[in-house]
């Protein structure tokens, strides 16, 4: 069984490790939220590295449609090819291009699929993927083909909470909120990135850093107190 323990470059809190392994074991997507820079996107890359799997990244934009992740039927290309009759266009298959999700399903080995910043898309986007993520299969009416996942991909979804995600979608996910790292964990993280850093320098810098963060909080709590 796949069991993820973190990698040399990615320091993982025990809580996050639990969430990741639960999601892998249950075969459900892991939805990751957290402050910017807490390593949401990096998590998927490190899982791929730690478990030695290929990663497929689907970057979601505000114009992304759920269907694009499954497949695209390039009708315009087909129409163009049909104009002069110099190409056989009866085989629709050649105009069907699998999207990132389709690619992940169709892969010969288990892959890690990262759906990055799902909240950027339109409100209905996650709902349109419910069945596909549940069954890990979809149907292409144009060719009468069904693409079924040969190996359930490990799905990591990140969100910045710009939009609320719909409940039915959330019900199917395992959720983890990456907390801002505490000082001890932060030291571990920095050591991974800069192994040569001097301990004293880091200690002083961190002291300042957390002090400033605390000030920010203080301001906020003052506002609330009023």
Partner 1 sequence: MFIDFFFNLKAYGVPVSIHEWITLHHALSLNLNNCSLIHFYQIARSILVKNEIYFDKYDMAFLDSFKGIETTDEIMRKILDGLKKVKELNLSEEEKRQMEELDLDQILKNFEEQLAGEHYKDHVGGNKRIGTGGRSTQGAWGYNPAGIRIGQGVSRHKRAVQIAEKRSFRNYSSDRTLDTRQMKVALSHLRSLLPVGEGEKLDLDSTIDATCKNAGEIELIWEKKEKKASKVILLMDVGGSMTPYSELVERLFSAASSQISKFKHFYFHNCPYQHLWRDMERNDSISTPDFLKSEDNDYKLIIVGDAAMSPYELTWANGAVEYWYNNDTPGIVWLQRIRDKFRDSIWLNPIQRRAWDYNKTISMVNEIFPMFELTLEGLDEGVKFLLGGKSRLH
Residues binding partner 1 (CB under 8 A) = 14-15, 18-19, 21-23, 25-26, 28, 31, 33, 63, 76, 79-80, 83, 119, 122-124, 160-165, 167, 170-177, 184, 220-221, 223-224, 226
> Coil, strand or helix: which one is 133?
helix
Shortest distance, position 131 Cβ to partner 1, whole Å? 15
Cβ proximity to partner 1: between 90 and 223 the closer is: 223
Which residues lie closer than 8 Å to 162 by C-beta, 6 or more apart? 119, 120
Torsion angles phi and psi, residue 107, rounded to 5: -65, 145
Cβ proximity to partner 1: between 80 and 131 the closer is: 80
Cβ proximity to partner 1: between 75 and 137 the closer is: 75
d(CA 143, CA 21): 37
Which residues lie closer than 8 Å to 32 by C-beta, 6 or more apart? 40, 43, 156, 157, 158, 159, 176, 177, 178
Task: Give the CA dihedral 57, 61, 65, 68, nearest 10 degrees.
Answer: -30
Shortest distance, position 195 Cβ to partner 1, whole Å? 22
The token pair that represents 125 in the structure block: 């986007």
Shortest distance, position 77 Cβ to partner 1, whole Å? 11
End-to-end CA distance of the chain: 53
Cβ proximity to partner 1: between 180 and 209 the closer is: 180
Closest to 178 (Cα-Cα) out of 164, 166, 160: 160
Cβ proximity to partner 1: between 9 and 183 the closer is: 183
Shortest distance, position 180 Cβ to partner 1, whole Å? 11
Shortest distance, position 226 Cβ to partner 1, whole Å? 3
Shortest distance, position 1 Cβ to partner 1, whole Å? 9
Cβ proximity to partner 1: between 171 and 200 the closer is: 171
């Amino acid at each position: 069984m796949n069991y993820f323990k973190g990698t040399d470059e990615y320091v993982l809190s025990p809580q996050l490790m639990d969430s990741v392994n639960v999601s892998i074991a249950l075969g459900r997507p892991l939805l990751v939220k957290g402050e910017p820079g807490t390593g949401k996107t990096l998590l998927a890359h490190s899982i791929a590295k730690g478990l030695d799997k290929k990663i497929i990244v689907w970057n979601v934009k505000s114009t992304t449609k759920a269907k694009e992740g499954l497949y695209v039927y390039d009708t315009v290309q087909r129409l163009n090819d049909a104009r002069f009759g110099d190409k056989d266009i009866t085989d629709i298959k050649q105009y069907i291009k699998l999207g990132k999700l389709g690619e992940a399903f169709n892969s010969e080995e288990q892959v890690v699929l990262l759906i990055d910043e799902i909240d950027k898309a339109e409100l209905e986007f996650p709902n349109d993927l419910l069945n596909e993520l549940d069954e890990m299969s979809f149907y292409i009416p144009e060719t009468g083909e069904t693409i079924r996942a040969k190996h359930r991909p490990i799905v990591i979804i990140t969100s910045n909470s710009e939009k609320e995600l719909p409940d039915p979608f959330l019900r199917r996910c395992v959720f983890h909120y990456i907390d801002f790292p505490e000082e001890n964990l932060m030291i571990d993280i920095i050591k991974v990135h800069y192994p040569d850093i001097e301990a004293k320098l880091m200690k002083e810098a961190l002291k300042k850093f957390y002090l400033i963060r605390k000030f920010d909080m203080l301001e906020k709590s003052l506002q609330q107190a009023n």
